[in-house]
Amino acid sequence: MNTTVQYIKSFLEREFGHDPWVCMLATTDEAARPTVRCMVLREIDTDGQLWFVSDRRTRKDDHLRARPDTEVCFWLPRQQVQIRIRGRATVMDAQTDQFFRQMWWDRLSDANRRIFRNDETDSDPSMPGTFELLSVTPTEIELQDLSDQDNVQQVWKVG
Ligand SMILES: Cc1cc2nc3c(=O)[nH]c(=O)nc-3n(C[C@H](O)[C@H](O)[C@H](O)COP(=O)(O)O)c2cc1C
């Protein structure tokens, strides 16, 4: 894994531990209007890619298919640090992938699976065709340390 990504991951591990790694993920719509939403970052893998579980019915998946540039932002209150990760997203859907979607579906809690099912009352445990994955390959990372009087800002190009 790239050393910058590893460095950033250590901040996230320190902050969140086993709690959900909640961030904001930005996309742009067809009229170039920006929009953000909360997401749970599920994993930063050994290649330094960020993984999210998602749903075909949300706007972000359509946005990222058409315009893969994205930015993910974390605020880490205990450490007083903001982290921004810019990158390119790939949407893995029922047409392009079965293996990784199934792997992540199997890892989800029952409560999480209910969110991604098509119908609240649907008791079918199998993975719905609308369940998707987003992977983000970082291109630039920024860390702003507000615990420091000098408000240190560091920016790294990645990859
Ligand atoms: C704390 C929190 C975490 C969330 N995590 C996810 C997530 O991991 N995956 C997801 O698809 N939606 C998640 N959502 C829902 C999205 O924020 C958003 O409501 C959904 O993507 C629809 O918005 P959109 O159409 O603009 O994409 C989460 C919402 C909250 C409040």
* Span 31-74, pLDDT tens digits: 999 999 999 999 999 999 999 999 999 999 999 999 999 999 99
Q: Is the pLDDT of residue 123 over 80?
A: no
Ligand 1 atom, smallest distance to 57 CA: 25
Q: For a ligand 1 pocket test, name from 28, 38, 116 the mutation site with the most ligand atoms within 8 angstroms of its C-beta.
A: 38
CA distances from 63 to 9, 27, 110 (A): 26, 6, 28
Among protein residues, the one whose CA lies closest to atom 1 of ligand 1: 38
Domains of the chain, start order? 3-157 (2.30.110.10)
Question: Phi and psi for 123 in degrees, rounded to 5?
Answer: -100, 5
pLDDT confidence of residue 142: 98
Alpha-carbon gap, residue 36 to 28, rounded angstroms: 9
pLDDT confidence of residue 121: 61
> Is 116 within 8 Å of 56 (Cβ atoms)?
no
Question: In terms of Cα–Cα distance, which of 84, 97, 96, 104 is closest to 26?
Answer: 84
- pTM across the whole model: 0.95
- In percent, how much of the chain has pLDDT > 90? 87
pLDDT confidence of residue 124: 72
> Is 25 within 8 Å of 69 (Cβ atoms)?
no
Among protein residues, the one whose CA lies closest to atom 22 of ligand 1: 58
Among protein residues, the one whose CA lies closest to atom 20 of ligand 1: 58
- The DSSP H or E segment spanning 133 is strand 131-145
Among protein residues, the one whose CA lies closest to atom 5 of ligand 1: 39
